[in-house]
Amino acid sequence: MIIEVSEKASAGVILVIGATGKVGRQVMDRLMSLGTHPLRALVRSREQAKLPASVDIVEGSLTDQAALAAALVDVDTVLLMWPFLTLDDASAVLDSIEQRARRIVYLSSVGVGSAEELDDPIFAMHAAMERLIARTSLTPTILRSDTIASNTLGWAEQIRATGVVRGPLTAPTAVVDPRDLAAVAATVLTDDAHAGRTYLLTGPRVISRPDQVDAIAAALGRPLRFEEVAVDDARRQLLDDGRPPALVDALLAAAEKRSRSTLLTSTVEDLTGRPASSFEQWATDHAAAFR
């Protein structure tokens, strides 16, 4: 574990947990462009994080109490993106945050409070985390997001190799551009007016998996297709590949338990001043990742 906290760090620091992820890095970029608060990131690898010198870095895991304590020095607000399928260490992590910080912003799911919450491992995990946060003295802002567009980057290898995306057919949702999530997160992290609020974040329209593949095809300028795989067949394949059963259940819950979403919100535009980006725009902007 390497801990380096700048002597320039002062009260009001924003700590981003998950700063190197697909959403977290976008949040860091937004916050750096604003330049209104000192920033710190808790990362597993300083070299891989590739963050500028203006960002204080603590190297270590989220569940390493010494690293987390160092990351929380002088911190006012924390952005938490929980990277695990269980909440085994969540209480200890929240206890540490509560001892130092005043506010927490948590990236959750629009599935919290839905009819599928109890049967869906991802929804249930986020709901349980929200309950844990509510029991602390922290002032929370909850960002409940719909499906994130960058999840489709998991299809890149199939697209490059065969031009066919094979998988279970999940219910359509209003897919969110991670850049929109980042813009909202940066807004609420830097403004106390959002303390104590819960926001539902969606993209501009409900879109299916086959339509997402069509959008990527249009961005690439070549034909692609989606080929549905039965859930039971997908489960056998994932288990045969050595995936843990809990992870397999979480991955397949969207196909087994979720119904078509009708949820559309104007939250992105309300908080950032510009409409939510379409999946088609995201695919165009990230076409190189699928080539």
271: Cβ–Cβ under 8 A, 6 or more apart, which residues?
183, 184, 187, 188, 194, 199
CB 250 within 8 A of CB 121: yes
Confidence (pLDDT) at 47: 78
Give the pLDDT of residue 112.
96
Each residue's pLDDT expressed in tens, for the chain with a length of 291 residues: 444 444 333 448 999 998 988 999 999 999 999 988 999 999 988 878 888 888 999 999 999 999 999 999 999 999 999 999 899 999 999 999 999 999 999 999 999 998 888 888 899 999 999 999 999 999 999 999 999 999 999 999 999 999 999 999 999 999 999 999 999 999 999 999 999 999 999 999 999 999 999 999 999 999 999 999 999 998 998 898 888 888 888 888 878 878 888 999 999 999 999 999 999 999 999 999 999
Pairing of strands 103-109, 164-167: unpaired
Element housing 41 (H / E): strand 39-43
Domains of the chain: 2-148+177-202+262-277 (3.40.50.720)
- Asked if 221 and 288 count as a contact pair (C-beta separation under 8 A), the reply is no
Helix locations, 2-120, DSSP H: 24-34, 46-49, 65-71, 90-100
Residue 53: predicted pLDDT: 85
Would you tell me the crossing angle of helices 90-100 and 121-134 to the nearest 10 degrees?
Answer: 40
